[in-house]
Structure 1
Amino acid sequence: MIKLIGTGVWILVVTLASVFFALKMASAPKVDTTAAEREAALEFVSGYVTTVPVIGEGGVNGYLLTKLAYKANKELAAKQVVPLPQMITDELYTLLVGKKMIDVASAGSFDLDAFRATVKEGLNRRFGAEVIDEVFVEQIDYITTAAVQDPAPKRGVTIAKGKVPVEKPAEGGH
């Protein structure tokens, strides 16, 4: 009989200790308010498909098709004189035509992280503030002029393809 009571007391103590520690460990997680405020100040900007000619010997050799998306500071983006999409398109032309950031002949050595950083840095320099927080590459393709003139044989190359986060719908059902 004493064994039965001792076992019952032992089970009761273990159960109470388990519940106590479970409640103690399950307290509300600490919220980083500065990170939450920073994230709330950002908006997702989906970019356009930008077609940039690749100029070589004797004319246009092909076209780079890029589709990028961005996380931008809402307040700073609203203060810009030139709209964000047009400034982004201009910066892409500067990078891809003026600086030849992508070498189509050696597409395998393309550094996607360096490209993202250069786009972000260039845009923020032109805006004069930290407007762009993050650059997402949805896709970068190269299509030869032969593929444009005769699309039957596929002569295009996908240089980079990435994942773009899905924009969350606004609260309130809009």
Structure 2
Amino acid sequence: MVKIVIAGIWACIVTLVAVYFSVQLATRPAPVEESKAPPTDVIRGEPVTVPYVDDSGVKGYFLGRFTFVVDKEKAKTINIPMTELMTDQLFTVLVGNKIIDLTSGKKLDVEQFRQTILTGVNKRLGDDVVKSVMIEQLDFLAKEDLRETGGKPKLKPAVKIVEGEAPPAAAAAPAQH
């Protein structure tokens, strides 16, 4: 009789331990795979005003703000301030290359615009430092829309070329490089 009671207690203990560990294994969070992507940093560019010039002179101004996602490790090796480099590349694309042609009536290919900026900056740096370009704002203000009445400039609203996207929350303040 004692042997049966001891065997029953042993079976209950083994069953309770097995249930406890199976519940622990079932509720454990899935293992997180480490990302193979390099760590990135967000550099919020300064607002820029770029003139739109054709053969007859200044036709208006592009008003823009861009945010750049860069490889954190590669950006540390760059001796040029990243914000100024990005602004210079925007001037090159908008004024030098004239990627946006307002006279043609064609819509701006946003992906090509982003890729042109990305390729140009990475080419100047000699490495793939910039991973992506985000457009926060890109508007056009025509010269004719600037009116002076009684000594006070009166601005008509700018024409929105691209609806922007908000930068990540980590980019609240401009990064200093």
Aligned partner of 1:109 in structure 2 is 107
* Ranges in structure 2 where 5+ consecutive residues have no aligned partner: 1-21, 172-177
Aligned partner of 2:174 in structure 1 is none
For 1:123, give the aligned amino acid: V
Higher RCO (C-alpha 8 Å, min separation 6): 2
Aligned partner of 2:158 in structure 1 is 156
Alignment of 1:146 with 2:147, yes or no, is: no
Structure 1 residue 154, shift from structure 2 partner: 1.7
Of 95, 98, 101, 1:100 maps to: 98
Structure 1 residue 112, shift from structure 2 partner: 0.9
* Ranges in structure 1 where 5+ consecutive residues have no aligned partner: 1-19, 170-174
Q: CA 1:126 to 1:53, structure 2 compared with 1: closer, same or farther past 3 Å? A: same
Structure 1 residue 73, shift from structure 2 partner: 1.4
Q: Distance in 2 between matches of 1:137 and 1:107?
A: 21
Alignment of 1:136 with 2:122, yes or no, is: no
User: 1:139, 1:162 within 8 Å by CA — same for their partners in 2?
Assistant: yes
Instruction: Render the CA deviation track for 1:118-173: whole Å, top value 9, x for unaligned.
Output: 1111111111111111110001010111223445362631100221233238xxxx
Identity of aligned residues (%): 31
**What is the TM-score with the length of structure 1 in the denominator?**
0.73
Q: CA 1:124 to 1:154, structure 2 compared with 1: closer, same or farther past 3 Å? A: same
User: 2:69, 2:133 within 8 Å by CA — same for their partners in 1?
Assistant: yes
Aligned partner of 1:48 in structure 2 is 46
Question: For the pair shown, which has the larger CA radius of gyration, 1 or 2?
Answer: 2
Q: How many residue pairs are counted as aligned between the two chains? A: 147
Q: Distance in 2 between matches of 1:67 and 1:78?
A: 23
Q: Distance in 1 between matches of 2:105 and 2:48?
A: 18
For 1:59, give the aligned amino acid: G
Alignment of 1:118 with 2:110, yes or no, is: no
Q: Distance in 2 between matches of 1:154 and 1:30?
A: 56
Instruction: Render the CA deviation track for 1:12-67: whole Å, top value 9, x for unaligned.
Output: xxxxxxxx79x63x5423423134x52xx211110111111111232111011110
Q: Distance in 2 between matches of 1:168 and 1:48?
A: 16
Structure (1/2) with the larger helix percentage: 1
Q: CA 1:106 to 1:160, structure 2 compared with 1: closer, same or farther past 3 Å? A: farther
**What is the TM-score with the length of structure 2 in the denominator?**
0.72
Alignment of 1:32 with 2:26, yes or no, is: no
Of 67, 70, 79, 1:69 maps to: 67
